[in-house]
Structure 1
């Protein structure tokens, strides 16, 4: 029996070969991910504190003194904002804030195609100022976080960075794992050995810090990928169509169209042919579960449908309040005479998420989408999003997210320092490949699974493997310096 066990147990040479193979993959993943991870960490931390940062930056527009006077009606405030804009500016969004010290915000689409927020004092109707939606600081930070402000190519690059972070986490934990049988030491495993010097000190700091941050990093990646520009959109569409995201049956009544006076509604199934989705609306935030759902439209308006027959904003606010939506939500205004009012509530607790489509003429609630109508996948992603953005349990959540994010940036720095200290002059300094390739079936299977789930990642893994064979393919013995 002992002989059989010794035959099955890996030899010291095989262990070294496996570690060196893992190290090579960790090196390539880190080489690509490190600079992008620093960008993700810094922008993510800043965006996490958006609720505190924006009122400080734009205090003159967003914050007002509470005069204890009655607030003007929302329609009167919108009229003040419309008067301050060019004649060709189109109101697209009303942001509803119940706080007594917050101004009223209305978003307009300009003739140039850009959008602009207008802030109005809710007590006296004074226009406090304007702010470009596209160029405000937090919008820029969000664009950096999602795609380096490079459009689609940047989104794909950041998506790849997230996927390669999975490889970096997996290989990092495997390299950290105490490979010696019965090893019980804590120094260099759970705590860094600060008595070391040089590269060894940096290695302990990197390895121990990495394993403490591994779970948080894994959560960040898995909760962020559903929002990515390529894989995330495809996954959302798949989840929606398979009723894993927003179930089709949750629309409720067959009639889901805004009916202008004098018109009969289309068949309910007509909405599925419409190109406009919830994600296309000018909302500041849209719940993930409803982003890929089609927007309802009416059969069409007639000349009898005058502007005066449209429901007022104050009526829409009253309808939202009856449904339990009272503060910090957006109302997307109808973009045509056949459109609908869309109330989007994206609170810190995902269980309170709500989306209402309201007939702009009759005030009928055509669709009421809540968390309880979500599919299993969408519920999990909603929780993940709230935690990822530092919203779920307040300031403590923001602090935890910041510690993880900045810790990952620090790991990138320590990894870079280790590389500089080890790298020979004028070479890439990739860890040498062992002379005999170890089987590592579980590892190869895991990589194949990641490549199948994330096809773009699979293509880049294949490219890295080919490049490694062609450009950096020198084999060395397993006893080479680690």
Structure 2
């Protein structure tokens, strides 16, 4: 969930005059914590929601990339007619090299079914991008060429960059990290506030998952839709936040350091012929192979045959090694159940020199790989795409309802008009039990260190709230009014 007052323990909506005191709670010790959570939920929702809107819209666009690729690049990605038997890889690679004489051959992904064979070339001037030549595996005819980013088409690459960094490079990555760092806070905080409201109200849990449509129109009905929709989305939003953070600039680096400390990274396949580990490796799909300037096309058929005999079924990707090293063959089936085994093949002896089986990965490495594929909409095919699209649309609805509540709670009396509603009252921080402060502060500091774009805005909220509280007390003192409660 996200945005504004879910709990209803703040000022009543649009009522003139002073705010009546809240009724006594059955647990006095819980009230300050709830008040603090409500105020944090309100401010974080109002200020972080724009980042979430952008992430949801760009993520929604990315969910349709498989269909968009087929629409835009179907002539390159698929064949018009499926033949009985594919041509030897040597012929297909030779045809691709004739069509693309420049660059180093990086990988070859043999086509199967109606999929073309992808022959990838690296050029220095392209940086991280490559040229991919698409070959009909049944005729050996070249069907086209695209500039790709580790297998992604130009359209998918453009939408990927839009979602990750708004095409602003490292500077733009801060937006997505802010969104992911606060999404889980807003989701869990909203659920806690809504659950507490249901427990304290007459309806109790009756409308925890279903909005109460019997209420009058206005903020209460809007709150019901905002809260119950958020509850339904919570698991999915927590998943998106967690997997998104693994890709982020700062939190992702801390996540990687944690995997290193636990020795839980994805194992790296050794392609050296002396058994030493190979350098490199990555946690996500955007890995890369060392270019080979003089790979013999005939060797691809030999290496593929050895890999098939070693049990690598389904779609694979062959990466030729440099002279004196083994070639790598990796399964690339990212749909459930995934097939991600790898073998290293010595092209001189046609033997397997090393292997890296998915079954042997650590649990964290497996969960990381599966999470990445699910976040990208690949793990469960079209169903995965539909679920991600539903999460994005649902989050947008929750945000709109949250801002609508903020507007509906505005004072409307002639002498108290305001464009938006007032934030929940201060005072929660000062009323916290000592043990909550003793435990909560170190936890907040630790989370803020691990997720810098959670910690920095949180510190900013606190400082701004303290400053506003100081000015409010001074203003009240000059008027002779009772001093408002301090920040928190």
- What TM bracket, shorter-length normalisation? 0.7 to 0.9
Are 2:266 and 2:282, in contact at CA under 8 Å, matched by a contact in 1?
A: no
2:426 to 430, 433, 437: 433
State the alpha-carbon separation in 2 of the partners of residues 43 and 340 from structure 1.
40
Matches within 5 A, 1:308-327: 312-327=299-314
Correspondent of 1:212 among 200, 209, 232 = 232
Equivalent pair of 2:48/2:179 in contact (CA under 8 Å): yes
Check 1:333–1:234 CA distance in 2 against 1; reply closer, same or farther (3 A cut). Answer: farther
Q: Which residue of 1 aligns with 2:327?
A: 341
Indicate yes or no: 2:393 matched with 1:401. Answer: no
Distance in 2 (alpha carbons) for counterparts of 1:15 and 1:242: 37
Q: Which residue of 1 aligns with 2:74?
A: 59
Superposition pairs of residues 62-101 of structure 1, within 5 angstroms: 62-85=77-100, 87-99=101-113, 101=114
Q: Could you say if the C-alpha distance between residues 244 and 110 of structure 1 is closer, same or farther in structure 2, counting changes exceeding 3 Å?
A: closer
Match status 1:162 vs 2:177: no
2:455 counterpart of 1:458: yes
Which residue of 112, 118, 121 maps to 1:108? 121
Q: Structure 2: 5+ residue runs without aligned partners?
A: 1-23, 411-416, 474-482
Deviations 1:353-406 (A, max 9, x none): 213333454444333111222122212323333443444444333323322232
| 2:50 equivalent to 1:35 | yes
Normalised by the length of structure 2, the TM-score is 0.76
Deviation at 1:187, TM superposition (A): 6.1
- Counterpart of 2:476? none
Quote the Cα distance in structure 2 between the aligned partners of 1:469 and 1:234. Answer: 30
Question: What is the rounded CA distance, in whole Å, between the counterparts of 1:468 and 1:311 in structure 2?
Answer: 69
**C-alpha offsets along residues 194-240 of structure 1, whole Å, 9 cap, x if unaligned?**
34323332222111111111122112222332233333244234424
Q: Distance in 2 between matches of 1:331 and 1:204?
A: 54
1:8/1:210 CA distance change after superposition, 3 Å: closer
Residue 120 (str. 1) matches residue 161 (str. 2): no
Q: Residue 367 and residue 49 in structure 1: after superposition, are their counterparts in 2 closer, same or farther (change >3 A)?
A: farther
How many angstroms apart in 1 are the aligned matches of 2:163 and 2:337? 22
- 8 Å CA contact 2:35, 2:428 repeated in 1: no
- How far does residue 106 in structure 1 lie from its aligned partner after superposition? 1.6
SS in 2 for 1:433: coil
2:134 aligns to what SS in structure 1? strand
- Asked if the contact 1:342/1:356 (under 8 Å) is kept, the reply is yes
Q: Are the equivalent residues in 1 in contact too, given 2:317–2:330 (CA < 8 A)?
A: yes
Distance 1:184 1:70 in 2: 66
Query: Please, what is the CA RMSD of the aligned residues?
Result: 3.6
Asked whether the equivalents of residues 350 and 371 of structure 1 are also in contact (C-alpha less than 8 Å), the reply is no
TM-aligned CA deviation for residue 452 of structure 1: 4.2
Matching residue of 1:262:
none
- Give 1:470's match in structure 2, choosing from 446, 467, 484: 467
Matched, 1:153 2:161: no
The answer for the alignment partner of 1:3 in structure 2 is none
Secondary structure, counterpart of 2:196 in structure 1: coil
Counterpart in the other structure of 1:203: 223
State the SS of the aligned residue for 2:125.
coil
Deviations, residues 147-186 of structure 1 (Å, cap 9, x unaligned): 3222222223312321111211122112212345474445
Describe the SS at the equivalent of 2:221.
helix
Aligned 1:381-400 pairs, distance under 5 A? 381-400=368-387
Q: Does 1:268 align with 2:280?
A: no
Q: What TM-score comes out, normalization by structure 1 length?
A: 0.77
Aligned residues: 434
